[in-house]
Amino acid sequence: MSDQTLPQAPEKPLSPETPTAGLTRRKLLGTAGATGLVVGTAGGAVGYAAAPAQATPLSSIGSGQEMFHVKHQPGITQGLQARGHLVAFDLAAGAGRKEATALLRRWSETARRLMAGEAAKDDDTDVARDAGPSSLTITFGFGHSFFARTGLEKQRPVALDPLPDFSSDQLDRSRSNGDLWVQIGANDALVAFHALRAIQKDAGSAAKVRWQMNGFNRTPGATAHPMTARNLMGQLDGTRNPKPSETDFDKRIFVPESGSNDPAWMANGSYAVVRRIRMLLDDWEQLSAKAQEQVIGRRKSDGAPLTGGTETTEMDLEKTDANGDLVVPINAHARITRPDQNGGAAMLRRPFSYHDGIDADGVPDAGLLFVCWQADPLRGFVTVQRKLDRGDALSPFIRHESSGLFAVPGGAAEGEYVGQRLLEG
């Protein structure tokens, strides 16, 4: 739907099936025709049974695996995942830097193990026992309030200052912000839930859940070929998302290792803006397809601009019709959100759709769990959202109901945990 505010990363093409030789123990167990549980060694814990050598390999969806120890945390540049959970935690009363350090150690080890298709270190629930990693990613970030709670105010980035108020905001403060933020994504619902449960259990007495939101996207392979996904309004969503192949991608999305006003611990990190955007679907669906296209500025069928061509054709902002009217209306969402209409402002959008049932009035509580990444939220999200605030044709059909901004440090090197350079610096 949106070229900037509501789009998402393109789906990742399916990988070929993985041979049995390269499978983890969990993968092997998940492919065995008839294998049972075995008693482990230490403490009599239930472990993972060995599978016969002739086991059928996992499907391409189950065998997908992302690395934990990488330059940028996983869950940022990867393609859309079919299932996701966003969850914020507040440190418990009396918990500080010491407790936060121990918690990030636990979370990082759990993330590393689960992303590799292994069981959680302690008291695994077995929810994902039969599955492979399914492209699981777990991403960690720090909210503005975290730094005062841990005595690290001097290490708080200026870019983490609270977002300004916007005229379209109707925010529920209890479902906004938080000391810590975790993003979980996978291409299997049980794998994603398993990770969520493990992260929640790891929090123990150090932190409590502030809010949690559950989302979904189209499953990879559901279309004849990889393509831009659609949102719940039926629009192709993410056409103009920045691509890692672009020369200025890293500059726009990630904090550089040097030459930045950000603290050193944020090197190779990014800032995530998280917004729960409710779509007023009953109102939207009363519009004709043509009227919907005028709101967005693109054809609903294939995402091409109203000025013609294909989805990737450059939009002709000056083109007029026989009556002299602009073909792409002046307040069309796709026009307003273009980087060249916002001083080059760009962000990597990687959201999930959500549906939380029907409210008392019979209206669907559904929309977008909007997540966008940028090196500087003031130049990225804030710049574009201010422009939208001044007259976006889409605004009457959406409502921003919760909000958060989080500093997401770079990936953990081998032997490190996420946030170590902040907590031990």
Q: What is the full DSSP assignment across 263-312? A: -GGGTT-EEEEEEEEEE-HHHHTTS-HHHHHHHHTB-TTT--BTTSS-TT
378 C-beta neighbours (distance < 10 Å), count: 15
Measured between alpha carbons, how far is 186 from 78 in angstroms, rounded to an integer?
11
Tokens read off for 136 = 């699981």
> What is the phi-psi region of residue 292: left when phi exceeds 0, alpha when psi lies from -120 to 50, beta otherwise?
alpha
DSSP 235: -
351 C-beta neighbours (distance < 10 Å), count: 28
For the stretch 2-58, pLDDT in tens is 555 444 444 444 444 444 344 444 444 343 333 333 333 333 333 333 334 445 567
For the stretch 375-423, pLDDT in tens is 999 999 999 999 999 999 999 999 999 999 999 999 999 999 999 999 9
Q: Which of 24, 4, 216 is nearest to 133 (CA)?
A: 24
DSSP 188: S
For the stretch 74-129, pLDDT in tens is 999 999 999 999 999 999 999 999 999 999 999 999 999 999 999 999 889 999 99
Q: Is pLDDT above 60 for 63?
A: yes
Assess contact for 385 and 378: CB atoms under 8 A: no
Q: Which of 271, 294, 299 is nearest to 372 (CA)?
A: 271
- Please report the pLDDT score of residue 14 as a whole number: 47
Measured between alpha carbons, how far is 25 from 132 in angstroms, rounded to an integer?
9
Measured between alpha carbons, how far is 298 from 388 in angstroms, rounded to an integer?
17
Measured between alpha carbons, how far is 15 from 226 in angstroms, rounded to an integer?
12
Report, as residue numbers or ranges, the catalytic residues: 237
For the stretch 246-283, pLDDT in tens is 999 999 999 999 999 999 999 999 999 999 999 999 99
Assess contact for 179 and 113: CB atoms under 8 A: no
Measured between alpha carbons, how far is 355 from 276 in angstroms, rounded to an integer?
11
Farthest CA pair distance, the chain: 80
Q: Which residues contact 218 (CB under 8 A, 6 or more apart)?
A: 11, 80, 82, 229, 230
| Residue showing tokens 């699981």 | 136
The helix/strand/coil state of 320 is: strand
Between 360 and 52, residue with greater pLDDT: 360
User: How many residues in total does the chain contain?
Assistant: 425
- Phi first, then psi, for residue 373 (nearest 5°) are -120, 140
Q: Which of 366, 365, 373 is nearest to 406 (CA)?
A: 373
Helix %, strand %, coil % of the chain (to 5): 25, 20, 55
Measured between alpha carbons, how far is 227 from 350 in angstroms, rounded to an integer?
15
355 C-beta neighbours (distance < 10 Å), count: 15
Residue 226 burial class via C-beta count within 10 angstroms: exposed 0-12, middle 13-18, buried 19 and up: middle
Q: Is pLDDT above 90 for 284?
A: yes
Choose the weakest-confidence range: 152-156, 165-169, 187-191, 351-355. Answer: 165-169
pTM: predicted TM-score of the whole model, two decimal places: 0.87
The helix/strand/coil state of 422 is: helix
